[in-house]
Structure 1
């Protein structure tokens, strides 16, 4: 144990020393927190119950609606889009200054997003086909594949907004927010068609993305950040939920008539703005925390494989659930209905097991995300964790 701590301290010191002085570590910390929030949220609100010889998806939010505030903590995609907007705007401006064309810039940005997707699609095509050939129920296969593929919508939207950075970088969040409000008014107030709501998939996530672009221009002073939090969290989000008829949950609930997330509603956008305000207010404190080598090394490692963690976390949970079926009895918190406080307690105990399974997925598939980087002359022997170099970590 002492040797492991010594190796970790040495690695953390190496990462800290190799990190460029101008890197905004707080932005990396916000990105890591956003990804981990989504992962933990899915593990807590997604349940696969064993019944009739198959697995069926449900959620504790169906049975215990009072858990809705949990979604406020773990629905952190807005922070990811906030950071993405800032990074994309700064990166494109830097590329233009260096004479790098749009095609080369967007190809590099999107390549990092989509390289890991191919591995997920190939594996699950084989797994789904094998399950069907082996006689698995179609509903079970559909449930599992849906859990794997459902997070990919976020990557498609994020990729589209990233590709549109030259067009939207100067666009403020007011205009897409107005579009969301107009669509909701038409959809809910004037009995418009349901399909019109899907306009908000682009408009809703454009709000935090353009907010991040504005942040890159220095447009958000501390007073503006506080206004985002106080002005949007209390009167807007709470008001829309309490008196506007919007659901309290900020994630989809199976069987619910309206979802705040699919597609995004005005309540989700107001909550996203409040969450972004909180993230911006926390930036300075995070920046100070990231000066500690150990804290920064953990954030750097998560960012190095952020897409791998995101893409494989549902597979890790499902693998543990499937292996648990080998036990004759149904395991609490894993196969049982999520309808009691006891289920919640049991589920929390399963989280380290899910994390261990995710670690195995990370070890197997992280190479699909990490670009090949040449060894720098200044780093002749990189310290490593499972072969990960300091160079790769600090330039992710």
Structure 2
């Protein structure tokens, strides 16, 4: 059966398909659940008000991160933070898609609606399901703190969808800028982030309002996307890729060694500074280096993925991209929440503060993956157009998703 599937995937792959780009996207996609599952620790217990208010004898599930205690894990985040590659490939693919649509006479608004619908359907699906699950869990005795933990984890990866939708809307403008300036069109974005970082971390930081950091949100993630559109426009070749790799690596080292940037690419509980929300200049330096390396390795990766047995998993992962993004935290929660019935479980609900916890957590990853596969077999339908669903059913899903959003806003 597996052999037949591999052959079917190979037979349906167009001859001109850029397998390397799909391979890079799959790699970036898999890094999201892998990273979240490794740093998504839990502890059992309750703060007094939550315990008293919940009326539940079950211990509460709280979020915790091994990065707070195991500082030596910070460099691992450099490997799992592959959003630079994801936005690079996203810009490349969106630029080509927009060019094809424009060639057919399709309007930018029509093209964008189709792209946003593909992003939005799975988000509505997961939030609608959780709008039903939360009261059911509460009735089953889950404490309020556990419900809040679940909401945090479900929402955690969804910020990406909003940002990705925003940069996707700018594709025609990005492509126009890439046509004029090539890869240099991304430089103003990097400089913008550098200026904001200087203001919020430099000598005048005390006089700068905290909201100023939000100015990095769009240019920070648009940077690699803009590089991707330049790549698609044929304006980012191997010489520029070498410059990106060397320059990004050098800037990364300088910021880390001499400007007191946190080593972790993701947020660490209790830390004064974070690189991720919103992205700091260190994130862009890493994205530049990753983008340069990806472009330089493109042909080699394409040759590797010419093997059908390696290509088939890449296709499957790409077809389930939004399912993986939206449901991987639910897969971890589906394992952790029931385990609260049995007290602390090593690597799952024990404090993430030792190498023993890390070893135990790694042993849980295959189970998380199996649960995600099981969930995906059911929820994958949310990615397809909802043409078979009646209008009242679609309206109900929208109303449930909106109620989840209101609840999440209230508790976070």
Q: Could you tell me the TM-score, scaled by structure 2's length?
A: 0.86
Greater mean alpha carbon deviation, residues 344-353 or residues 130-139: 130-139
CA distance in 1 between partners of 2:2 and 2:142 (Å):
44
Asked whether the equivalents of residues 29 and 325 of structure 2 are also in contact (C-alpha less than 8 Å), the reply is: yes
Match of 1:25 among 13, 19, 43: 19
Deviations 1:44-68 (Å, cap 9, x if unpaired)? 0111111241011011100011110
Deviations 1:6-47 (Å, cap 9, x if unpaired)? x21221112111111122111111111001011100000111
Partner of 1:378: none
CA distance in 2 between partners of 1:93 and 1:29 (Å):
22
Partner of 2:111: 105
Partner of 2:67: 61
Residue aligned with 2:142, SS? coil
Q: Does 1:358 align with 2:395?
A: no
Asked whether the equivalents of residues 175 and 233 of structure 2 are also in contact (C-alpha less than 8 Å), the reply is: no
CA distance in 2 between partners of 1:78 and 1:8 (Å):
33
Residue aligned with 1:57, SS? strand
Match of 2:188 among 175, 180, 193: 175
Kindly state the Cα deviation for residue 329 of structure 1 after the two structures are TM-superposed. Answer: 4.4
Match of 1:333 among 339, 343, 347: 347
Asked whether the equivalents of residues 198 and 263 of structure 1 are also in contact (C-alpha less than 8 Å), the reply is: yes
CA distance in 1 between partners of 2:176 and 2:43 (Å):
47
Matches within 5 A, 1:287-302: 287-302=302-317
Asked whether the equivalents of residues 49 and 335 of structure 1 are also in contact (C-alpha less than 8 Å), the reply is: yes
Residue aligned with 1:169, SS? helix
Match of 1:195 among 179, 197, 211: 211
Partner of 1:151: 157
Greater mean alpha carbon deviation, residues 131-140 or residues 269-278: 131-140
Q: Does 1:227 align with 2:233?
A: no
Residue aligned with 1:219, SS? coil
Asked whether the equivalents of residues 66 and 353 of structure 2 are also in contact (C-alpha less than 8 Å), the reply is: yes
Match of 2:294 among 279, 295, 313: 279
CA distance in 1 between partners of 2:298 and 2:187 (Å):
23
RMSD over equivalenced CA pairs, Å: 1.5
Residue aligned with 1:170, SS? helix
CA distance in 2 between partners of 1:371 and 1:296 (Å):
26
Q: Could you tell me the TM-score, scaled by structure 1's length?
A: 0.89
Q: Does 1:185 align with 2:193?
A: no
Matches within 5 A, 1:36-185: 36-52=30-46, 53-171=59-177, 172-185=185-198
CA distance in 2 between partners of 1:59 and 1:16 (Å):
41
CA distance in 1 between partners of 2:288 and 2:196 (Å):
18
Residue aligned with 1:173, SS? helix
Kindly state the Cα deviation for residue 170 of structure 1 after the two structures are TM-superposed. Answer: 3.2
Partner of 2:363: 349
Q: Does 1:323 align with 2:317?
A: no
Kindly state the Cα deviation for residue 125 of structure 1 after the two structures are TM-superposed. Answer: 1.2
CA distance in 2 between partners of 1:30 and 1:185 (Å):
32
Partner of 1:206: 222
Partner of 1:385: none
Residue aligned with 2:34, SS? helix
Kindly state the Cα deviation for residue 131 of structure 1 after the two structures are TM-superposed. Answer: 3.3
Greater mean alpha carbon deviation, residues 276-285 or residues 311-320: 276-285
Deviations 1:66-100 (Å, cap 9, x if unpaired)? 11011001011111110110111111111111111
Kindly state the Cα deviation for residue 226 of structure 1 after the two structures are TM-superposed. Answer: 1.8
Asked whether the equivalents of residues 304 and 370 of structure 1 are also in contact (C-alpha less than 8 Å), the reply is: no
Matches within 5 A, 1:372-391: none
Kindly state the Cα deviation for residue 134 of structure 1 after the two structures are TM-superposed. Answer: 4.9
Partner of 1:9: 3
Q: Does 1:244 align with 2:244?
A: no
Residue aligned with 2:297, SS? helix
